[in-house]
Amino acid sequence: MNKEIKQCAAFKDLFPSYLEDMVEEETKKWMEEHLTKCEECGNFEGNYKECSKIQEVGSNESTNTKYEEDKKVIKRARIILTAGMAAVVLLAIWTSVWILM
Angle of helix 25-37 versus helix 3-19 axis, rounded to 10: 120
- Please check whether residue 41 is in contact with residue 35, taking contact to mean a CB–CB distance below 8 angstroms: yes
For residue 4, name the pLDDT band (cuts at 50, 70, 90).
confident
- List the alpha helices (DSSP H) in the chain: 3-19, 25-37, 39-100
Average pLDDT, integer, range 15-36: 87
* pTM exceeds cut of 0.75: no
Instruction: Report the 10 Å Cβ neighbour count for 10.
Output: 14
- Please check whether residue 46 is in contact with residue 59, taking contact to mean a CB–CB distance below 8 angstroms: no
Report CA Rg, the chain.
30
Show me where the domains of the chain are located: 3-100
How much of the chain, in percent, has pLDDT values that exceed 90? Answer: 26
